[in-house]
Amino acid sequence: MSLKVWQDGNLVAAEQAKVSVYDHGLLYGDGVFEGIRTYKGKVFRLDQHLQRLFRSAQAIRLSIPYNAEELGQAIHQTIKANGQTNAYIRLVVTRGPGDLGLDPNKSPKPMVLIITDKIALYPKQMYEKGMSIITAKTIRTPAQSLNPRVKSLNYLNNILAKIEASDAGVSEALMLNYDGYVAECTGDNIFAVQADKVLTPPVSAGILEGITRDTVIELAAAQGLELEEVQMRLDDLYSAEECFLTGTAAEIVPVTKIDDRIIGTGQPGPITKLLMASFHKYVHKQT
């Protein structure tokens, strides 16, 4: 059965969904998006995702032609049409068709797409044994240039770092900011554990404020763990007892090696395992 895509108010077969060659999302990466998960037919933290979508759109002066309630209904409509219970949702808003110039005022009608499909970023073994990552030479785009809190369609900065990871034979790359502090990975936020304290870079380090990141921060508090948002250098990760990544598609995945340095015992640590179990329990409870 062909998957259905919601496009500007209509459900169409995925192979029939079309984007204009003059769309500024295609020509210039001018647009915003959200990656969302559904578990057992229930959309995970939909309100938070939609709030972030509208904040991102406001930051680039993009007017979304639907309100949050309408987009929520459209997401549920698309999931139902595709008969999915566990899916990954990609909600995309582009500037819409314009001309070959940069002027966004010449794109009067934004385009909205909702795609629901499956996604598996990492193999199951990485969740059990941990993953290796490298430190990218590509630094994270400074907030003064393009605020990483805006989840825009312009992901070239992340892609360049992802290419470095691929060249090194690993799945992810850690990105530092302009000042040399730890920011985030190409598609995930990063956490470390030192002396039983959970650490993660603050938003001011130049990161996307992840929905799963926020969930993990809440779960850590619920488990009575001490957590601090703090600026970290690469050496702080090298000397960490544990390390893990978080993201909507990734959920929580342990990191056991960074560059040529083994993290902790080289196996997923107890706090990482605790938070992974807590996350899965929380998701089950929510659904």
> What percent of the residues of the chain are helix, what percent strand, and what percent coil, each to the nearest 5?
35, 30, 40
At the topology level, CATH places domain 4-117 in D-amino Acid Aminotransferase; Chain A, domain 1 (3.30.470)
Q: What is the pLDDT of residue 8?
A: 97
- Given a contact cutoff of 8 angstroms between Cβ atoms, the answer to whether 274 and 196 are in contact is no
Q: Say what angle helices 68-81 and 46-59 make with each other, to 10 degrees.
A: 120
Distance CA 19, CA 22 (A): 8
- Given a contact cutoff of 8 angstroms between Cβ atoms, the answer to whether 219 and 237 are in contact is no
Class of the CATH domain delimited by 124-286: alpha beta
Q: What is the pLDDT of residue 176?
A: 98
Has residue 29 got a pLDDT over 70? yes
CATH 3.30.470.10 location in the chain = 4-117
| DSSP category for residue 83 | T
What beta strand segments (E) does the chain contain? 4-7, 10-13, 31-39, 42-43, 87-94, 111-117, 131-135, 172-176, 182-185, 189-194, 197-200, 226-229, 242-247, 251-258, 261-262
Residues 123, 125, 126, 132, Cα dihedral to 10° = -110
Q: What is the pLDDT of residue 1?
A: 64
Q: Give catalytic residues, as residue numbers.
A: 151
| DSSP category for residue 137 | S
pLDDT band at 117 (very low <50, low <70, confident <90, very high): very high
- Terminal Cα-to-Cα distance of the chain (whole angstroms): 26
Per-residue pLDDT tens over the stretch 230-259: 999 999 999 999 999 999 999 999 999 999
Distance CA 87, CA 44 (A): 10
Q: What is the pLDDT of residue 273?
A: 98
Higher pLDDT, 284 or 177: 177
Q: What is the pLDDT of residue 284?
A: 82
CATH 3.20.10.10 location in the chain = 124-286
Instruction: Taking residues 194-222, report their average pLDDT.
Output: 96
Has residue 141 got a pLDDT over 80? yes
The partner residues of 262 in beta bridges, in order of sequence, read 257
